[in-house]
Amino acid sequence: MQKIIVLVFKLIFNMSVMKKKKYKYLLFLYIICFSCGKDFLNFPVPGVLTRQDYVKDLQTTQEFLNGIYNKVSPILAGNTLLYPEVISDNIKPVTGGTMFNAHYNWSQRSSDVNSNDANLNLLSVNIYNVISGCNFVIESSLKFEKENQIKAADLRGQALTIRALMYYMLVNIYSQPFNYTTNASHPGVAINTESDWNSIPVKRNTVSEVYNFILDDLKKADELLPPVTGNTFYINSYAVKGLLARVLLSKGDHRSACDYARYVLSVVPIMTANYPGKLYTLQETEALFQIPQNSQVPILFSSYYFRTSVQFHASSDIASILNESTTDLRRSWVTKNVTTNIWTVTKYPQGIIANISVPSISYYHTVIRSSEMCLIAAEAYAKLGGSFEDSSRFYLNEIRKRADIKAKDIVAKGPSLLDSVYKERRKELAFEGFRMFDLLRWNLGINRTDVTNPLYKQLPFPSNMAIAPIPEKDVLLIGLEQNMDY
């Protein structure tokens, strides 16, 4: 293994000028070499070459950051995206399927035995590895910033944003929502800001502390990142502001969420022409941050499990909502087999990118887009209430009438307005990895009508089974507090 790693690094760092597409495969191999079989509690093997031996300046720091992008891509666009949809009510496992059955049945286990089927332990490993890499980039950008302060700030801003996004994923998956307790003092996740493997977090921070940490990272990144270059494959200032709006909405800071969402919409409006046909392509004008497909090491985007190795179907619950109006363009996001009455998720396009042999993963996955900003503004204004409801209806109608030319203006008020916002958000963001986290922050339970087993129709709020167990190793080896009932 050590000889392989040496060879990889020689190939990488002997190239003086390289574009991302030329060296990302090698960096991907590098990260895989160091991350396989380790979680954030493990130590590296003595004598094995480390990243510190090769990152010697800003150029190699940038190359290492490109490797992080490769590592984070399957986390943001792969089967992880399915989890919030499966555990809630938008998709369900196929009959005889093997993926996410325990998650669908609200019966996850913390043990590593059969962990791929019973929990999200491997995801925790991968996310903390990305976080460790981001910590290293942050440290290196400070160490070498005298070479070029603008470039160093850019690299640090990107790493801070990716780190914040990873912690946001963790706190959504492993913790109850921010408003679960009055001051968000309930257990969150362990925060680690060091790249040194000897620096091991010894406790779970509170949800309040985790959110403050995430927002601090994003606000620092917003100050560091240069003006947008138009490349949505890298973290940019608009994406950071969009993420700030997303996190602030989850925190319940509705005024601030509105401010960031409105700013993003002022510079990147929602796409009207070619909607929804050009979503997940390079012509998607509302994309803020996208994941490109890799022709050398293809990423199994979530659509792979809908259309190639079919593991999941859309539930009739979401299909019926998308098909309420015969003129709603989003009806095309699910397709019914008239013989089996099974609904296939067809939201993601096929064959968009040349040289990708599997059509179902041949597109550009959008992590954050302006439609979400419109829905954030609609929800936040509705929750502010009073005269702000006019603004809520304005943003809500922007989304509704774009999708359906025959949609009438929403005139609802109060709780009815919120219900309309919730429904429209479920439609527009279906299958994009939001559903369970939305239900949690709305303090709503799960009510399925289309189920694989009648035992799993309802999960009330609150429920300890609505969140994932902390990996057993992290509980046994370091004493991190386990979630209740696991």
List the one residue out of 138, 252, 127 whose CA is nearest residue 190: 127
Query: Can the peptide bond before residue 93 be classed as cis, meaning omega within 30 degrees of 0?
Result: no
The CATH code that applies to domain 1-226+460-486 is 1.25.40.390
Rama region for 387: left / alpha / beta (φ>0; ψ in -120 to 50; rest): alpha
Reported as a single tens digit per residue, the pLDDT across 70-80 is 999 999 999 99
Reported as a single tens digit per residue, the pLDDT across 349-373 is 999 999 999 999 999 999 999 999 9
1-226+460-486 shares its CATH topology with 279-444: yes
What are the per-10-residue average pLDDT scores of the chain (486 residues)? 37 37 38 39 50 90 97 96 98 94 96 77 96 98 98 99 99 99 98 86 96 99 89 96 99 99 98 98 98 91 97 98 99 98 98 96 98 99 99 99 97 98 99 99 99 97 98 94 98
Name the E strands within 195-272: none
pTM of the model: 0.90
* pLDDT at 335 (0 to 100): 99
DSSP assignment string, 158-179: HHHHHHHHHHHHHHHHHS--GG
* pLDDT at 15 (0 to 100): 36
List the one residue out of 474, 450, 473, 481 whose CA is nearest residue 104: 450
- Going 396 to 397 to 402 to 406, the CA torsion angle's sign is positive
For residues 285 and 268, give the distance between their C-alpha atoms in angstroms, rounded to a whole number: 8
Helices (H), 14-110: 20-35, 58-77, 83-86, 101-104
Q: In the chain, what are the domain boundaries?
A: 1-226+460-486, 279-444
* pLDDT at 202 (0 to 100): 87
Q: Which amino acid is at 69?
A: Y
* pLDDT at 440 (0 to 100): 99
Q: Give the right CATH number for 279-444 from 3.90.1150.10, 1.25.40.390, 2.40.110.10, 3.40.640.10.
A: 1.25.40.390
